[in-house]
């Protein structure tokens, strides 16, 4: 937590908090998942600003590591990936937005067609002589995006379809991959095997990060890891890969508060002992979830400094939050405190807020001084 730590951002004195993003760890995590996926190609899910860490630096680092295929949610994100990775294959998961067929083709973005309406629009565009490629999303049980298996069967009866539509991939998404014993996994796998049989020769993709760990049957041709690349745990209780993101906040001031007094809005937590309270320069405006705060009824998240955890006290404010440093006598005004990172797992902070690491990462605010290790 020392300010001179070479592995930490040297944030400007005007910054209240800082993010250190380790692109070397990001690349190694991707390589580890690529190895775990066996013969399948590992792509990378970089939607949501690459899970909060920054789309362009993430794409550049992953490209250098050998990643050739990227999945984003939106065409806007796809355009930014295209600028950073001119030769990459880019899929747009949210599907084909109305009247954007030619725009996708011009930027070589491949829409993941997820409904018969999108399919009709894409087919009409191709019939008019439009080029470009697309993926087909078949729903196997999630009921979010994708045509039904019955619709896929109908399409497959037309042998020229794959070529006529320029399809390069057929994919589906697992609803319960992070719960290996859930029976829906096997059902989705069985349906996907039937989908593969419908479109011989067309590459198939099913697994996200957790799906890769369900075993080789789930790997098919292309895996789509996201959270594991960013060092988030993908199955409850399973250790994450290397830590990529470290979020820290500065101590603004330290105050001594007598027992029996309360801290913060709503007087939500009463101190049981005379306490040393450090006020940190981070709040929910920085994406630190308000629900991670602490009350008399329910303990909140913890932070980490000088080798020890320090729990939140009271509610999280917009720009500030309080921690108890009574047991951390070294704590001083100006110190950096780890909100999450190698010593305070993002999943634990997320759990204290009643959410998952995905949401905490993608909520990272714009106020952090961002520093990339390993060259952006």
Ligand X SMILES: *Cc1c(COP(=O)(O)O)cnc(C)c1O
When the beta carbons of 110 and 126 are compared against ligand X, the nearer one is 110
Residue 371 in tokens: 């520093």
Alpha-carbon distance 237 to 85, whole Å? 35
Task: Assess contact for 287 and 359: CB atoms under 8 A.
Answer: no
Range 47-79 burial, b when 16+ CB lie within 10 A, else e: bbbbbbbbbbbbbbbbbebebebbbbbbbebbb
Cβ(304)–Cβ(344) below 8 Å: yes
Q: Residue-wise over 149-187: b if at least 16 C-beta within 10 A, else e?
A: bebbeebbeeeebbeebbbebbbbbbbbbbeeeeeebee
Helix (H, G, I), strand (E, B) or coil at 368: coil
Residue ranges binding ligand X (CB under 6 A)? 45, 47, 93, 173, 208-210, 224-228, 234
DSSP state of 286: G
Is residue 321 a known part of a binding site? no
368 is catalytic: no
Strands 262-263 and 269-270, how do they pair?
antiparallel
Q: Which of 47, 51, 218, 230 is catalytic?
A: 47
* Least CB distance to ligand X at residue 293 (A): 27
Nearer to ligand X, 240 or 293 (CB): 240
Enter the tokens of residue 189.
């796998």
120 CB-contact burial (10 Å; exposed 0-12 / middle 13-18 / buried 19+) = exposed
Q: How far is the CB of 178 from ligand X (least distance, A)?
A: 7
Least distance between ligand X and beta carbon 40 (Å): 13
Identity of the residue, 29 or 208, whose beta carbon is nearer to ligand X in the bound complex: 208
In the complex with ligand X, the residue whose CB is nearer, 203 or 226, is 226
144 annotated as belonging to a binding site for a ligand: yes
- Residue number with the shortest CB distance to ligand X? 226
> Which of 8/173 has CB closer to ligand X?
173
Phi, psi of 57 (to 5 degrees): -60, -40
**Which residues 6+ apart lie within 8 Å of 182 measured at CB?**
176
- Residue (178 or 335) nearer to ligand X, CB: 178
Minimum separation from the CB atom of position 191 to ligand X (A): 16
Residue 90's contacts (CB-CB under 8 Å, 6 or more residues apart) are: 69, 70, 71, 72, 78, 81, 82, 108, 109, 110
In the chain, helix, strand, coil percent, each to 5?
A: 30, 25, 45
Is residue 236 within 8 Å of residue 243, measured between CB atoms?
Answer: no
For 214-274, the DSSP string reads T-GGGT-SEE---TTTTT--SSTTSPPSS--EEEEEEEEEEEEE-TT-EESGGG-EE-SS-
Closest to ligand X by CB, 92 or 302: 92
Q: Is 47 a catalytic residue?
A: yes
- Which entry of 91, 265, 288, 368 is annotated as an active-site residue? 265
Could you list the residues known to form a binding site for substrate, using ranges.
144, 318
Could you list the residues known to form a binding site, using ranges.
144, 318
Catalytic residue list: 47, 265
């Amino acid at each position: 937590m020392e300010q001179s730590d070479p592995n930490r951002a040297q944030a400007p004195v005007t910054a209240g908090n800082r993010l250190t993003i380790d692109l070397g760890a990001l690349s190694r995590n991707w390589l580890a998942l690529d190895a775990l996926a066996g013969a399948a190609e590992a792509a990378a899910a970089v939607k949501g600003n690459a899970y909060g860490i920054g789309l362009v630096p993430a794409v550049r680092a992953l490209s250098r590591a050998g990643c050739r295929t990227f999945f984003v949610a939106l065409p806007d994100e796809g355009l930014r990936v295209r600028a950073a990775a001119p030769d990459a294959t880019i899929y747009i998961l949210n599907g084909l937005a109305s009247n954007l067929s030619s725009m996708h083709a011009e930027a070589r973005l491949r829409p993941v067609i997820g409904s018969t309406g999108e399919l009709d629009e894409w087919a009409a565009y191709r019939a008019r002589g439009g080029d470009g490629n697309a993926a087909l999303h078949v729903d196997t049980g999630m009921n979010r995006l994708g045509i039904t298996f019955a619709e896929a069967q109908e399409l497959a009866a037309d042998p020229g379809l794959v070529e006529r539509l320029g399809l390069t991939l057929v994919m589906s998404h697992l609803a319960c991959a992070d719960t290996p014993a859930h029976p829906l996994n096997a059902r989705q796998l069985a349906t996907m095997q039937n989908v593969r049989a419908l479109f011989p020769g067309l590459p198939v993709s099913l697994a996200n990060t957790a799906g890769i760990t369900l075993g080789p049957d789930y790997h098919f041709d292309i895996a789509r890891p996201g959270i594991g690349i960013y060092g988030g745990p993908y199955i409850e209780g399973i250790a994450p890969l290397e830590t990529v993101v470290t979020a820290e906040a500065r101590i603004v001031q330290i105050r001594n508060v007598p027992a029996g007094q309360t801290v913060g809005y709503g007087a939500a937590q009463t101190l049981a002992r005379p306490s040393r309270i450090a006020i940190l320069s981070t709040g929910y405006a920085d994406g630190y979830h308000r629900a991670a705060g602490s009350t008399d009824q329910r303990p909140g998240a913890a932070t980490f400094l000088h080798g020890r955890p320090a729990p939140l006290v009271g509610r999280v404010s917009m720009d500030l939050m309080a921690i108890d440093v009574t047991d951390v006598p070294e704590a001083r005004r100006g110190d950096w405190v780890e909100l999450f990172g190698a010593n305070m797992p993002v999943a634990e902070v997320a759990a204290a807020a009643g959410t998952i690491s995905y949401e905490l990462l993608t909520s990272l605010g714009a106020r952090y001084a961002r520093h990339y290790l390993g060259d952006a």
